[in-house]
């Protein structure tokens, strides 16, 4: 019986899905918080599964038999990749299991920002009505806009496919470019990052957090964006210099933003961004949907089975490939 150790603890209903899909020949158990029991579990585990918040720096010394760390999430920042490289342990993310969820959330934020949904909702709940003067509308359409996708991974590609019916122009930038045939299927055009910031009406972030992407949204790149453009972030909060974004939004150097992630999570309730009227906010809620759980576990188990058969894992994070 091959052992999978899972961390952290998740809701019983989601755990039941994981247990129902567990392949034959495998056992799965939750990683204990008791130090002695925890070290014993880790020392005997061949596979680790779960989310980045479930594993601590002190755990690495016990990874003696581990053949694969398999995350149910797309994000893996906070893991000690250098240590995993030294231990020769691959780390894989969820293979796009939440790509539909994040892509739909990004589109929701685009629409909510452009149509000023929170303001309209609040207006009606306060017993008021919109202006009856034609020509005073401040809402906008997505149709006809140029959308710049930063990061054309699983989520970026899913987003591109979802946006194809909106009659928009799609630009993208990514260090790894797909084939010309795939670009054509996705109806996306590659541009350098600065060109994307200059040309896009909507800039949407779907890149991982690492040294190269830290604060990629900063005073310099915000200055490149159009005054009527909007920023959407359903990736990682660390991609955005929040002080710079606050200044740009307050001074209307860009029109608005829709943010699902923050540099600090949970964010400080006194975060200056929360005082602005041209921001739509959600609490890092893009990825988790009920429909994503069978896909998260299904992809994860399939990858574990591959490694158990002696095959190379799929979806290894870029820093640990090769």
Contact 305, 23 (CB under 8 A): yes
Are 79 and 200 in the same domain?
no
pTM of the complete model = 0.91
CATH number assigned to the domain comprising residue 29: 3.40.50.720
> Can you give the length of the chain in residues?
322
180 in the same domain as 143: yes
Give me the domain span that covers residue 120: 99-281
The pLDDT tens digits of the residues spanning 12-66 come to: 999 999 999 999 999 999 999 999 999 999 999 999 999 999 999 999 999 999 9
* CA–CA dist 301, 49 (Å, integer): 9
pLDDT digits (tens, 9 = 90+) for 143-190: 999 999 999 999 999 999 999 999 999 999 999 999 999 999 999 999
Residues 218 and 104 in one domain: yes
Tokens 């009606």 identify what position?
Answer: 124
- Just list the catalytic residues: 236, 265, 284
Task: Report the number of distinct structural domains present in the chain.
Answer: 2
Count Cα atoms within 13 angstroms, Cβ side, for 17.
Answer: 16
pLDDT score at 78: 86
pLDDT value of position 219: 98
């Amino acid at each position: 019986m091959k052992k999978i150790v899972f961390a952290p603890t998740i809701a019983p209903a989601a755990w039941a899905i994981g247990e129902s899909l567990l392949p034959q020949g495998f056992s799965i158990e939750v990683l204990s918080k008791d130090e002695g029991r925890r070290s014993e579990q880790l020392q005997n585990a061949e596979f680790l599964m779960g989310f980045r918040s479930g594993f601590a720096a002190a755990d690495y010394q016990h990874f003696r038999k581990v053949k694969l760390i398999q995350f149910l999430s797309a994000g893996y920042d906070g893991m000690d990749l250098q240590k995993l490289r030294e231990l020769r342990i691959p780390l894989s993310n969820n293979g796009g299991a939440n790509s539909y969820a994040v892509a739909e959330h990004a589109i929701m934020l685009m629409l909510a920002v452009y149509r000023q949904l929170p303001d309209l909702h609040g207006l009606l709940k306060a017993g008021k009505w919109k202006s009856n003067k034609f020509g005073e509308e401040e809402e906008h359409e997505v149709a006809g806009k140029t959308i710049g996708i930063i990061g054309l991974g699983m989520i970026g590609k899913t987003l591109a496919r979802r946006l194809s019916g909106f009659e928009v122009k799609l630009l993208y930038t990514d260090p790894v470019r797909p084939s010309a045939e795939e670009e054509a299927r996705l109806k996306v055009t590659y541009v350098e990052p600065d060109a994307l910031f200059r040309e896009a009406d909507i800039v949407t972030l779907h890149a991982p957090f690492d040294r190269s992407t830290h604060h990629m949204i900063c005073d310099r790149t915000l200055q490149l964006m159009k005054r009527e453009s909007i920023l959407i972030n359903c990736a990682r909060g660390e991609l955005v210099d929040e002080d710079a974004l606050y200044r740009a939004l307050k001074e209307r150097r860009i029109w608005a933003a829709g943010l699902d992630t923050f540099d600090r999570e949970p964010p400080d309730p006194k975060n200056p961004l929360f005082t602005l009227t041209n921001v739509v906010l959600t609490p890092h809620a893009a990825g988790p949907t009920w429909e994503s759980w069978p896909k998260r576990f299904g992809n994860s188990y399939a990858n574990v089975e591959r490694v158990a058969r002696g095959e190379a894992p799929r979806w290894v994070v870029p820093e640990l490939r090769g």
